[in-house]
Chain A
Amino acid sequence: MKNKISKLLVALIFILGISLSAQEKVIVQLNVFEQLPEISLATFMTAEGLENTPRIAQVIMMPHGKSVIVQGVVRWRKVNGTSFEELFSYTTKPFLSRNFYNDDYSAVNGIEIKDSDSNQDLIDENLKIGKASGSYELIIEVYDENMNFQSRDEKFLGLVLPASIVGKEIPIGLVNPTQTIAIIQPILDEELDLGGIQVTWSEVKGVFNYFVKANFRDSKFQSLEDALQSGTPFVNNEDVGFQTSINLREYMKRELVGGEEIVVQIRCEVIGADGPTFIYTDIVNFSLKSAGSPVVDKGVQELETLIVDVLDEWEQQGQGESEAFEVLEDLLSDLQNGNISFTDIKIRSDSGQLLTYAEFQQILEYLRRNPDLLTNLNFESN
């Protein structure tokens, strides 16, 4: 009896596994590159296959390695036209899902076209114009080998915007505006609990891999860039897949301490006709809640101590009434009251070169040992 039950259980798990695996759909995303309006349509319309055509589009599929069939349609609406008409359509033979470009459709070592159809009158009309004009609709549909629908993506390209596609259409001539990526959470200078550090960022179309980098900021005097790049970041370019929200703790290589300041940046790779390019978020800093004073205040405290020493020395030298003395007193008071923000500072040498916090700290230490070698300390407000 026990045996029967266990066999039934194994069978159930097996069937469930197959059905789960069958349910995993192949998601498709279509990207069209910027060069489209510059391309002569004759190249496309007269080509026997697509393998020799210029690279203008990319198809991204997830996951890879599933047997799929792709159906593609290109529809055209002429300038001042009221509706789209089918220009060209095709169906591929089954192939294993992967990312590919339009020029990968090839009978030799590529993705083979099984059937295709075209409207010769419309093609001739396009050829007369020579360049892309009006609006185009590019549709990609993915099916499994049994022609079960998996997913669909479409791109509209054109200057005339039908109400239904406003916001989705990329105008020709202004195609693919530069994509940006931004960290939504945490916000700049936010204070978070140690327990959960949720980082969320905006989605970039056509990207399936985001990379996260996070590091400690030693002091307010360390620029965010310097903080991110110094040493080995505790989250070092971790590939987090295509999710756009993570708990940073799951990717940490070291434990965090309350009071520490963290800097984080997300980057992703965007594939274009000229190859891959990286786009980055701005670096965002946030601190971790602590009962004591934040570690990052150390640099400010060191500067305050230096100013106190310098004021002392200047007073002893009879400079207590000077204008420079007053400016320095005001600066000290502003630092102590938190009136000066050190969110994103830049420390430069007289040649304009940016100094790292470590270099600055060395100078600060030298001046604290030799306050008489400081010839001037001034604050110029904006």
Chain B
Amino acid sequence: MKYNRLFIVLIILIAFTSIGFAVQDKNETPIALIKKIIKDVSYKTIDASDWGDAKTGIPLKSGEQIKTGFKSLALVLFTDGTGLLRVRENSIMYIYGDRDGEKINKNTFIEKGLIGFDINKQDAEEFKFTTPTAVAAIRGTAGYLEVGADSTTTVVCDHGKIEVQSLIGEKKKAVVVGGAALSISPDGQITQSEISPKENIKLNKSKKTKVKKISIETEQGTIEFEYYPEED
């Protein structure tokens, strides 16, 4: 009897430990990694209370956050090769991934800022962007999503198709195709239009990832410029 109880306790312990390992394994699997950093980029792990300086090559696990500063950029590459995110300046983004067999269903929450994306055609897995006012499902497309200071979400589609649903009010749905843009106001109203010249500039800028430097060497010191060149 005593041995039986001990055996059961042991079994339970082993079972919990296994579950623990399994859970830990799921959380420990990187979904993405930081491919490139320009200037001020920080990240926060799930259990950390403070932001730490991000470095190129740092793996990102489900639930971790990235924050970019003024004139900064982080390039985030998904480990399953499904796409690339360009986290532009003054943005905060959470990355989530749920492994389902071979698939990873990805969901990126944009708290604020602008994220340029280039996502390969998805087979069965999901690729979603969530903002305070909308959720966008991507099936293989490129464009950008921007969350303004008042939580207005703007979705600009360069090519492909994006299904968008408002999370506020009547929770309306809409589809944005290449060359079109969509805006969801803080009260959930959806406005669709062609990409405006201003949005077009932002779209082009959102694609830039390489910076160039020039320096002017004078007797008193060196003036340095760092900029995104015309051709990327």
Residues of chain A touching chain B, judged by Cβ–Cβ distance below 8 Å, are: 221, 303, 314, 317, 319, 322, 331, 334, 339-350, 355, 360, 363, 366-367, 372-382
Contacts and interface: CB of A to CB of B under 8 A. Distances in A.
A202 B206 CA distance: 59
B216 interface: yes
A377 B214 contact: no
Nearest to A359: B214
Contacts of A360: 214, 216
A346 B218 CA distance: 7
A376 B39 contact: yes
Given A366-B230, A367-B227, A374-B227, A340 B218 contact: yes
A372 B90 CA distance: 13
Chain B's interface size range is 20 to 34
Interface in B211-232: 211-230
B227 A317 contact: no
Interface string B10-40: 0000000000000000000000000000110
B208 A373 contact: yes
A331 B212 CA distance: 21
A342 B216 CA distance: 9
Contacts of A372: 205
A373 B227 contact: yes
Contacts of B226: 374-377
A362 to B, nearest CB: 9
B205 A375 contact: no
Contact of B225 (A341, A342, A376): A376
A79 B36 CA distance: 73
A379 B217 CA distance: 10
B53 to A, nearest CB: 17
Contacts of B214: 347-350, 355, 360, 363
Contacts of A343: 219
A378 B219 contact: no
A348 B222 CA distance: 10
Contacts of A350: 212-214
B219 A382 contact: yes
Contacts of A346: 216-217
A339 B220 contact: yes
Top-3 shortest CB links A-B:
A381-B221, A376-B226, A350-B213
Contacts of B228: 373, 375
